[in-house]
Chain A
Amino acid sequence: MLSRDIVIIGAGPAGLAASIEAGKAGADVLVADLNMKPGGQLFKQIHKFFGSSEHHSGTRGTDIGIRLLKEAENAGVEIWLRSAVIGIFPGNKVAIRKDLGDGKTELITLLAKKIIMATGASENVVRFKGWTSPGVMGAGAAQTMVNVNHVKPGKKIVMVGSGNVGLIVSYQLMQAGCEVVAVVEAAPGIGGYAVHAAKICRAGVPIYTKHTVVEAVTDEDGCVKEVVIAEVDGKFNPVAGTEKRLEADTVTIAAGLKPVVELPRLLNCDFSYHGLFGGWIPLHNKNMETSVAGIYVAGDSTGVEEANTALEEGRIAGIAAAESLGLIPADRADARKKEIWGRLESLRMGPFGEKRLKGKEAILKEYKERIGLPSVR
């Protein structure tokens, strides 16, 4: 059977950062990813990132992606694309359905000494009449279309949700040449950062707070041609008589993300529910190790945050996994992990971040109390 020191699932920011740290330490690393290209969602982030200027901030996500891929290459990391991990079996046997091109696939089982799961997140939906019609899609899907595939998903767009994703994608759809007709937000206030909202306002796009989509009206083919929105009451129910009809061919839904956690579920990792981080997440300790010894998690799959926090968590997982293989001396690994935890703390400060800082501290505490030490299963 093939074997690797470390198998990483997901070539997004967390998985790549983990692979770079582990690869640099001398580990034999394989990254498996379902997608056609590595980088996860980084290559659709064409905006300049927030964060500390010492660590990529002010740099566009796409350029961070290019830099990470180069670093991974230099660290000797092997990446398998269009390769889905379809199961992990006792004894760390990882089953990968590898794409061979021309519609052919091969099932490969691989023995991994350590596994890092960085499987990211998926978009939540909002249901309304017509929500399954062509023209209604996730905001992330629309973002992929314009920023990665350079194809406009529609001409006139209604964005549902005013969190950072809703605001950033609205801006990027306009940069791509689409018209954003309105941003609709059910809550009484705008969810995302004020600087993102201000860009949308300057572009003349109305942001309707306390509003929801009632219906996506379709044409004879069943595709969206009009969007009905209405005010909502305190219980988020539409108020009759307040409907507005907007001409639009596309509705993009930015209603938050939830961690993708099928693989840690398969492994019986201990979970905990954290609404703040998008739902059920595998508990982890300060090494990003789950309740199962040798199985690590990082990035959005362990609580939805941002690319820069995913990167730092990935680094910690990569260092910890390499350390456990004896590839990095404990004192050096500890110093590096401490430094990165410090950076994570500064990314989780301020009125928006401190809830996440406390939430992550609660996760670590819960791990200590419920699990203590990871066990071999």
Chain B
Amino acid sequence: MNMRMENHVVIDLKRDAAIVEISVDGQKVKACEGEPILAALLASGIKINRYTMKKHEPRGLFCGIGQCTDCAMIVNGQPNVRTCITPVQAGMVIQTQDGLTKGG
């Protein structure tokens, strides 16, 4: 699934960011360098970022500005990273977070 916008009358969609590869739960995902991790995942149709600790409910994009923590994931081994305000870097290893931490 590609959720990237292809055309827009007002916004210039010319993408000058480098296309890089990141790993999400072991799958290779293409992303634009510097975009929020969350955006890269949504662009590939990945909507779930973490599961809650007690009820194991899925959570995804909610506030988009670093306040709600619903989009927290494990990034390069570090848990609780708010993916909506963390930029993509080539080779990042991202994992869906289960509960508060995973081995952390």
Complex contact flag A–B (Cβ < 8 Å): yes
The reply to whether the CB of A133 lies closer than 8 angstroms to some CB of chain B is yes
In the docked arrangement, what's the CA distance between A151 and B70, Å?
18
Interface residues of A in 139-188 (CB under 8 A from B): 140-142, 144-147, 149-153, 175-177
**Cβ of A135 and Cβ of B67 under 8 Å apart?**
no
With known contacts A221-B58, A223-B47, A150–B5 Cβ distance under 8 A: yes
The reply to whether the CB of A87 lies closer than 8 angstroms to some CB of chain B is no
**Cβ of A137 and Cβ of B75 under 8 Å apart?**
no
Chain B residues engaging chain A, CB cutoff 8 angstroms = 3-11, 13, 15, 34-36, 39, 42-43, 47-49, 57-67, 70, 75-76, 78, 84-85, 87, 89
**Cβ of B10 and Cβ of A60 under 8 Å apart?**
yes
**Cβ of B64 and Cβ of A140 under 8 Å apart?**
yes
**Cβ of A149 and Cβ of B39 under 8 Å apart?**
yes
A370 to chain B, nearest CB (A): 30
**Cβ of A176 and Cβ of B62 under 8 Å apart?**
no
The reply to whether the CB of A76 lies closer than 8 angstroms to some CB of chain B is no
In the docked arrangement, what's the CA distance between A82 and B67, Å?
13
Cross-chain pairs A/B with CB under 8 angstroms, 18 sampled: A35-B65, A82-B85, A122-B63, A122-B65, A134-B58, A134-B60, A136-B62, A137-B63, A137-B64, A141-B61, A141-B63, A150-B8, A151-B3, A152-B4, A152-B5, A175-B8, A176-B8, A223-B60
Chain B residue contacts of A223, Cβ below 8 A: 47-48, 58, 60
In the docked arrangement, what's the CA distance between A36 and B36, Å?
9
**Cβ of B48 and Cβ of A153 under 8 Å apart?**
no
**Cβ of B11 and Cβ of A150 under 8 Å apart?**
yes
In the docked arrangement, what's the CA distance between A184 and B8, Å?
26
A126 to chain B, nearest CB (A): 13
Chain B residue contacts of A177, Cβ below 8 A: 5-8
| Residue in B15, B42, B89 whose Cβ sees the most chain A Cβ within 10 Å | B42
